[in-house]
Structure 1
Amino acid sequence: MSSPPWDYIAKLVCIGDSGCGKSSLTIRLCEGRFVTHHDVTIGVEFGSRIVPVGPPYSNSSESPLNNSSSSTTDDGNNSSTTAGGLPEPRIVPAEKPGEAPPHPQQKHMKLSLWDTAGQETYKSVTRSYFRGASGALLVFDLTRRSTFEHVTDWLNDLRQIAEPDIVVVLVGNKADLANAEPPSADNNSTQSPSQPPSYPYSPHQKKGVIGPPPRREVTRAEAEDWARRNGVLEYVETSAKSGENVEKAFMRVAEKIFQNIQAGKYDLNDRRSGVKGAHALQAGGTSGSGPGRGGGGGSVKLTGGNAKGVAGGCC
């Protein structure tokens, strides 16, 4: 049996209120594209992505962990990224007999992504998908404050059901809308200097700016403060549309899980664990479900008996 192209597999869940862009973040990571219109998730949708973890990649300038400006363009095109939106993993050359390796062998982790429904109607059922998760993206919409006010409830539910010490990153999504600047009056060729602006000024608008103000309703400072007070690993602002920081958010979770593996915090041979080793899965007669390096996904709807059949487990 051939070895899978990854060393570990970890279950990650994307949680948060409906309409925050959880599905768009998953699609951006797994498929490297942005979907303008996406049906509301009912049940759970799946995706996967194999990412490099640990050195040498985590120490390189190519890693989004070391490059805060790393992002893809609106159409997903970026010469330094794969089709799935992640930087191309560094290839470690094979050792020659009698020659010491130039650097540690690169490890890879398959992220098994579970994109859960955010509607209150399904919340009691979708909580079952938290079981066995070792990492989570807790997502809210920067332009809707109510979604930020609910993240504490989501986190409490997650910690009651998921793996102990689950790795959580708080994600403020839709940064492209939250930070968008309306056009300047100086650059508006259709606006006569003697005419009043098209929109009335509001107290928080800059002088000389016309149009509606940015739609941000949650500041970075208060989100970072919430993350610190609630023991969350980090706060990251993302845009599923442009790709800004999407890789970084997922990679922060993957790197922390890898560090926990190195510290011996997981039983990689336990089939109930949210993290497993490739060798353990091979010994059990499977190389892990889901697509390979190229990513992909599927879904389970909350109808019939499907919801109970897939609850728990890693993949």
Structure 2
Amino acid sequence: MNSSSEDYDYLYKIVLVGDAGVGKTHLLSRYVKGSLPKNPTSTIGVEFATRTVPLLTGGTVRAQIWDTAGQERYKSITSAHYRRSIGALLVYDVTNEKSFINASKWLDDLRENAEPDIIIMLVGNKTDLCEKNPNCRKVPTETARQFAQGHSMLFEETSAVTVSRVREAFENLLQEIYNFRSRTVKQRSPSESIGHILVPKIEEKKYLNCCTGI
């Protein structure tokens, strides 16, 4: 079954940011394709994939998810793709403290270049390594959670390898974006709301769960 332009109510641009090697491409591939990359390499510049997601509250989102390079030499390219992004997964490696420390830098980049009201989720990836060897963990869950709360971010820990909390990370972010934008529209006058967001369609429809990959 092919998806048409009528199969979704909202189009959300999402970006994946974080240091090189934290698993951004693996998370995206696992979520969109249901598998890990066959020949994983560091992302050069940016790549993107899309997935259509029915919301719990009604209506459907087409998520356009941009996977950005973590290397400093691509910063000017990746920062340009933050524009018009209304959601972000800021990913670090729970076994790499430096990747967590650098989250502050990525957060500043997002705040500076993305939409002013962007919704950000802090994601600690590679929890499967900690399950095999607890000594591998370098970033305590509570430390990361407090950092996220202190900067008004959502928080999740994931594993692209074991598929732990991958879908929840992406879809909880999409749902929170919808919730936030819906509240914003309700606070506007009717004339101000025109063109900002559509009223969700309540009737049940059939949607294609995923489409083009990276």
Normalised to the residue count of structure 2, the TM-score between the two structures is 0.85
Give 3-state SS (helix, strand or coil) of 2:137's partner: coil
Aligned ranges 1:120-159 → 2 under 5 Å = 120-159=72-111
Write the deviation string for residues 117-170 of structure 1: whole angstroms up to 9, x where unpaired.
000111122111100000000000111111001000100110111111210000
Which residue of structure 1 aligns with residue 142 of structure 2? Answer: 221
1:110 aligns with 2:62: yes
Write the deviation string for residues 170-216 of structure 1: whole angstroms up to 9, x where unpaired.
000001012214xxxxxxxxxxxxxxxxxxxxxxxxxxxxxxx6311
The 3 A distance-change label for structure 1 pair 112 and 268 is farther
Which of 240, 243, 247 matches 2:160?
A: 240
**Counterpart contact for 1:42–1:117, Cα < 8 Å:** yes
Paired with 1:39 and 1:268, the residues of 2 have a C-alpha distance of: 44
The AA in structure 1 aligned to 2:90 is L
1:179 aligns with 2:99: no
How far off its partner does 1:253 sit? Answer: 1.0
More helix as a share of residues: 2
How far off its partner does 1:269 sit? Answer: 3.4
The 3 A distance-change label for structure 1 pair 241 and 15 is same
The AA in structure 1 aligned to 2:160 is A
Any gaps of 5 or more consecutive residues in structure 2? Answer: 186-191, 200-207
The AA in structure 2 aligned to 1:247 is R
Normalised to the residue count of structure 1, the TM-score between the two structures is 0.59
Give 3-state SS (helix, strand or coil) of 2:95's partner: coil
Paired with 2:34 and 2:194, the residues of 1 have a C-alpha distance of: 30
Give 3-state SS (helix, strand or coil) of 2:148's partner: helix
How far off its partner does 1:251 sit? Answer: 1.1
**Counterpart contact for 2:145–2:155, Cα < 8 Å:** yes
Paired with 2:16 and 2:5, the residues of 1 have a C-alpha distance of: 28
Give 3-state SS (helix, strand or coil) of 2:136's partner: coil
Q: Which has the higher contact order (CA 8 A, sep 6+)?
A: 1
How far off its partner does 1:34 sit? Answer: 1.7
Write the deviation string for residues 269-291 of structure 1: whole angstroms up to 9, x where unpaired.
37xxxxx759xxxxxxxxxxxxx
Which residue of structure 2 aligns with residue 294 of structure 1? Answer: 210
Equivalences, count: 198
Paired with 1:26 and 1:295, the residues of 2 have a C-alpha distance of: 13
**Counterpart contact for 2:89–2:121, Cα < 8 Å:** yes
How far off its partner does 1:39 sit? Answer: 1.3
Paired with 1:54 and 1:258, the residues of 2 have a C-alpha distance of: 10
The sequence identity of aligned pairs, in percent, is 38
The AA in structure 1 aligned to 2:212 is G
The 3 A distance-change label for structure 1 pair 121 and 3 is closer
The AA in structure 2 aligned to 1:140 is Y
The 3 A distance-change label for structure 1 pair 267 and 33 is farther
The 3 A distance-change label for structure 1 pair 139 and 257 is same
Which of 225, 239, 259 matches 2:179?
A: 259
Paired with 1:16 and 1:46, the residues of 2 have a C-alpha distance of: 15
Paired with 2:28 and 2:94, the residues of 1 have a C-alpha distance of: 18
The AA in structure 1 aligned to 2:142 is A
How far off its partner does 1:252 sit? Answer: 1.4
**Counterpart contact for 1:141–1:172, Cα < 8 Å:** yes
Paired with 1:52 and 1:267, the residues of 2 have a C-alpha distance of: 23
Give 3-state SS (helix, strand or coil) of 1:177's partner: helix
The AA in structure 2 aligned to 1:148 is F
Give 3-state SS (helix, strand or coil) of 1:170's partner: strand
Question: In angstroms, what is the RMSD of aligned CA positions?
Answer: 2.2
The AA in structure 1 aligned to 2:25 is S
Paired with 1:268 and 1:134, the residues of 2 have a C-alpha distance of: 18
